[in-house]
Amino acid sequence: MLLLIDAGNTRIKWVLVAPDAPLGGWLASGAVAHAQLDTLGAQWAPLPITGALLSNVAGAAIAARLRAMLPVAPRDFISLPQLAGVTNGYRNPAQLGCDRFAAAIGARALAPDQAVIVANCGTATTIDALTAEGVFLGGMILPGLGLMASSLARNTAQLPQIADMAPLPAGFADNTDDAILSGCLAAQTGAIERAVRIHGAQACLLSGGAAPRIAPALALPFQLVDNIVMLGLQTAARANRAQGTQPC
Tell me how crowded residue 210 is: count the other CB atoms within 10 A of its CB.
Answer: 22
Same-fold call for 2-76 versus 82-230: yes
What pLDDT does 56 receive? 96
Distance spanning both ends of the chain, measured CA to CA: 8
Annotated catalytic residues are 99
Handedness of CA 150, 152, 156, 159 (dihedral sign): negative
Cβ–Cβ under 8 Å, residues 168 and 185: yes
- Rounded CA-CA distance 83/93 in Å is 12
| Residue pLDDT tens, the chain, 248 long | 999 999 998 899 999 999 889 999 999 999 999 999 999 999 999 999 999 999 999 999 999 999 999 999 999 999 999 999 999 999 999 999 999 999 999 999 999 999 999 999 998 999 999 999 999 999 999 999 888 877 776 655 455 555 555 566 666 878 777 787 888 889 999 999 999 999 999 999 999 989 998 998 899 999 999 999 999 999 999 998 777 654 33
What pLDDT does 158 receive? 56
Architecture of the domain whose range is 2-76 = 2-Layer Sandwich (3.30)
Domain residue limits, the chain = 2-76, 82-230
146 Cβ neighbours under 8 A, 6+ residues apart: 123, 164, 210
Cβ–Cβ under 8 Å, residues 67 and 247: no
What pLDDT does 161 receive? 57
User: Mind giving me the DSSP string for 39-97?
Assistant: GHHHHHTTS---EEEEEE-S-HHHHHHHHHH-SSPPEEP---SEETTEEE-SSSGGGS-
Architecture of the domain whose range is 82-230 = 2-Layer Sandwich (3.30)
Task: For residue 14, give the 3-state DSSP assignment.
Answer: strand
What pLDDT does 167 receive? 65
What pLDDT does 169 receive? 63
Strand arrangement, sheet containing 82-83: 82-83, 86-88, 135-143, 124-130, 116-121, 203-207, 223-224
- Rounded CA-CA distance 232/245 in Å is 17
